[in-house]
Chain A
Amino acid sequence: DAKTTQPPSMDCAEGRAANLPCNHSTISGNEYVYWYRQIHSQGPQYIIHGLKNNETNEMASLIITEDRKSSTLILPHATLRDTAVYYCISTPNSGYALNFGKGTSLLVTP
């Protein structure tokens, strides 16, 4: 699986958009980009995934660059409950094994 690189931490003001970057420069053609988050003391929670096109769901939007070497997870209106560690993972279509890495610790402040 391709290695992903994320900043260790980010801050965001409540109500503003949180844009979390991820680099996956060695991603191969059959690998998806997945985002999960882990709120303190809870199990990880799936957010969104994509292959080439941008994706949007009720939780977030995923923007993937045309060369697929990087992506951005967007939380359009961050709330205090969005404070969590966000993991960007690239994995083949099978999605069987997820390599979580260190993730980005997002702190949403009032």
Chain B
Amino acid sequence: DAGVIQSPRHEVTEMGQEVTLRCKPISGHDYLFWYRQTMMRGLELLIYFNNNVPIDDSGMPEDRFSAKMPNASFSTLKIQPSEPRDSAVYFCASSLVASGRLEQFFGPGTRLTVL
């Protein structure tokens, strides 16, 4: 398996622009997680899905952030409008909780810079 795939790997945009980050989880996994990492706040959970349904979005910072999972093999995290404080590395992770194995497998991350 190719592991969790994220795109783009790097994104540079200007304040006010819409940004869409993409994630392909490991095939067959039933949970998908979005995290954000900054120097100040460390690694934070933003939202997670179970079988494509959002379960907990309490970590989403504000209404400018939205996440969707239209099918089991694809998820997006959208920021509209983007702000400089959104600059961070965004990680997607997936796991197969139904198997009893609880570890999360992380993608390589998307480094977002908002100017």
Residues of A within 8 A of B (CB): 32, 34, 38, 42-46, 49, 87, 93-103
Contacts and interface: CB of A to CB of B under 8 A. Distances in A.
A44 B55 contact: no
Given A49-B102, A93-B102, A43 B93 contact: yes
A95 B102 contact: yes
A95 B48 CA distance: 12
A96 B91 contact: no
Contacts of A97: 33, 45, 48, 56
Interface of B is mostly: strand
B-side interface size class: 20 to 34
Contacts of A38: 43
12 contacts: A34-B103, A44-B91, A45-B106, A46-B104, A46-B105, A49-B103, A94-B97, A95-B95, A97-B45, A99-B45, A100-B42, A100-B43
Candidate in B48, B95, B102 with the most chain A CB atoms within 10 angstroms: B102
